[in-house]
Structure 1
């Protein structure tokens, strides 16, 4: 979410308020496909990183008429037409099939917190070697 007109509370508060309901719904349902998330606050508004099992699970949730997402998205689009520059939303989707995360001296965050970790052993000490094994 990007707040472009701070004084337009009527536009951005409903968008801001909708996300916790969606996150609670997804977190309560292990079959939803959402593995975890991280919410970050920025001077221009909050942003959210979510970790999902698959693109299909994301699209299924977004399109489900009984989900919290559908009415929130419909309401956002209605408000956005009445004040097009007040608040915006953005989304980027990256399949992470070959992703690797490294953690030294810190607990797992982000992707590793969402899906777990594997220790590195003598046969997999170099990132290049681990990636080459996955690419075969």
Structure 2
């Protein structure tokens, strides 16, 4: 399905702190396809759950798939993210425990995550000729207007001194 492309320049307008969470995996031994697919297959259920439960706090995400996979997600707060990760009723804890019990340490598949808590004054984004994407899709998509032409101006308008 084709996405609408917005001609011109746009920026994100979160208007609040955002927690950025990068998570992914790497198929270190890609020929162990069964193990790789078992680890990878946990993510769609988590994303479906988060999409159906906005109160969990995920605002949106973008993903890229290959030997090394990355999912960039935007969250209301680190507390929302941590609550989801430890929720016994959410679809994260069981796959994580399974990974730690059966795959971790084997070297077959690597997993990683990074978490960044970003204040409004530390956010700058620009999209030129793009469909809704990334932070703008997750929080707010606004045209670049006078006073938002440069990265410095966008940072200043988002709260930086």
What TM-score do you get using the length of structure 2 for normalisation? 0.75
For the 8 Å contact 2:56–2:84, the answer to whether it is kept is yes
1:135 is aligned to 2:157: no
Provide the aligned length of Structure 1 versus Structure 2. Answer: 134
8 Å CA contact retained: 2:62, 2:134: yes
Higher relative contact order (CA 8 A, sep 6+): 2
Please list, as runs of the form range in 1=range in 2, the aligned pairs for 1:17-56 lying within 5 A after superposition: 17-42=41-66, 44-56=67-79
Query: What is the deviation of 1:118?
Result: 2.7
Structure 1's consecutive aligned runs of 4 or more residues displaced over 6 angstroms after TM superposition are none
Q: Per the alignment, in what secondary structure is the counterpart of residue 6 of structure 1?
A: coil
| Residue 11 (1) aligns with residue 35 (2) | yes
Contact 1:11 1:79 in 2 (8 A): no
Aligned to 2:133: 109
Contact kept? 2:125, 2:154, Cα under 8 Å: no
| 1:2 and 2:2 matched | no
- Quote the RMSD (CA, aligned, Å): 1.8
Deviation at 1:23, TM superposition (A): 0.5
Are 1:66 and 2:89 counterparts? yes
Q: 1:104 to 1:71 in 2, by over 3 A?
A: same
Structure 1 gaps of 5+ residues are none
**Worse-superposed segment, 124-133 or 32-41:** 124-133
1:35-62 deviations in whole A, cap 9, x for unaligned?
A: 11112112x1432111111111110000
Q: Which residue of the other structure, out of 61, 83, 86, is the alignment partner of 2:108? A: 86
Alpha-carbon spacing, 1:110–1:117, altered in 2? closer, same or farther (3 Å): same
Structure 1 SS opposite 2:62 = strand
Greater share of strand:
2
Residue 112 of structure 1 deviates from its aligned partner by 0.9
Range with bigger deviation, 120-129 or 45-54: 120-129
Cα distance in structure 2, aligned partners of 1:80 and 1:45: 17
The C-alpha deviation readout for 1:34-90, integer Å capped at 9, x for no partner, is: 111112112x14321111111111100001111100001000001124x62000111
Unmatched 5+ stretches in structure 2 = 1-24
Name whichever structure is richer in helix by fraction.
Answer: 1
